[in-house]
């Protein structure tokens, strides 16, 4: 169905209040805001990387609070399974949940460590100093998207994502405008 601007409230299940999690939900929020300026987001933290019960409870609380889309930076099937049971679309983390959540899974991001390892090895081999705060994104291949569930995603989602990825790689996309 359609999510109207006045009902555009997203939820995010986060493991910890660490920079990695916070940057993940911030980028998720900014991406959504770039296509729906009225969107708001509520975040619940579990205090664990893998606690299926806490992740389920957080997702249930977000849905009860009016969230119509849930994403996560936590590792169990807790939040996605709650979304599937409640027919709430979900954006997963670190792998597709389409097999378990065929009616609600939209897409998932995952981390690809290969660019970082290549950077570290090449820097060490050349005698350089490895940066303590190196971060790669889509442009560097460090962030990868799984396949999009076209049965759940809004029409035009695949095209919009492909356009954004091309713009990221070209250095022409600015989500802060």
User: 62 and 13 in contact (C-beta within 8 Å)?
Assistant: yes
Q: Name the pTM for this structure.
A: 0.86
- Tell which residue, 85, 97, 88, has the closest CA to residue 65: 88
Q: Is the pLDDT of residue 168 over 80?
A: no
> What is the rounded CA–CA span in Å between residue 155 and residue 159?
9
Do residues 74 and 12 make contact, with C-beta atoms less than 8 angstroms apart?
no
* Residue bearing tokens 């660490």: 18
Average pLDDT for residues 99-105, to the nearest whole number?
A: 96
Q: How many residues does the chain have?
A: 177
Q: Which pLDDT does position 175 carry in this prediction? A: 55
**What mean pLDDT comes out for the span 7-15?**
96
Which residues, other chains included, contact 109 with Cβ-Cβ below 8 Å and sequence gap of 6+?
91, 93, 94, 143, 144, 145, 146
Q: Which helix (H) or strand (E) holds 100?
A: none
Q: How confident is the model at residue 91 (pLDDT cuts 50, 70, 90)?
A: very high
Burial of 73 (0-12, 13-18, 19+ CB in 10 A): buried
Residue-wise pLDDT tens digits, 27-81:
899 988 988 899 999 999 999 999 999 999 999 999 999 999 999 999 899 999 9
Give the full edge-to-edge strand order of the sheet including 40-45: 40-45, 9-14, 69-73, 90-93, 105-111, 143-145
HSE toward the beta carbon, residue 105, CA cutoff 13 A: 22
CA-to-CA dists, residue 154 to 2, 51, 89, 103, 160, angstroms: 8, 30, 10, 13, 10
pLDDT of residue 1: 53
């Amino acid at each position: 169905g359609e999510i109207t601007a006045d009902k555009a409230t997203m939820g995010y299940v986060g493991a910890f209040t660490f920079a990695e999690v916070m940057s993940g939900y911030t980028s998720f929020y900014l991406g959504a805001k770039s296509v729906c300026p009225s969107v708001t987001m509520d975040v619940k933290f579990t205090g664990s990387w893998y606690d299926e019960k806490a992740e389920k409870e957080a997702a249930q609380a977000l849905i009860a609070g009016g969230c119509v889309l849930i994403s996560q930076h936590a590792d169990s099937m807790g939040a996605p399974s709650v979304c599937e049971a409640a027919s709430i679309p979900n954006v997963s983390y670190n792998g597709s949940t389409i097999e378990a959540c065929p009616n609600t899974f939209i897409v998932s991001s995952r981390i690809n460590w290969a660019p970082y390892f290549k950077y570290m090895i090449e820097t060490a081999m050349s005698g350089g100093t490895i940066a303590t705060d190196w971060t790669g994104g889509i442009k560097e291949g460090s962030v990868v998207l799984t396949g999009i569930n076209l049965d759940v995603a809004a029409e035009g989602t695949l095209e919009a994502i492909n356009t954004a990825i091309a713009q990221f790689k070209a250095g022409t996309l600015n989500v802060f405008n």
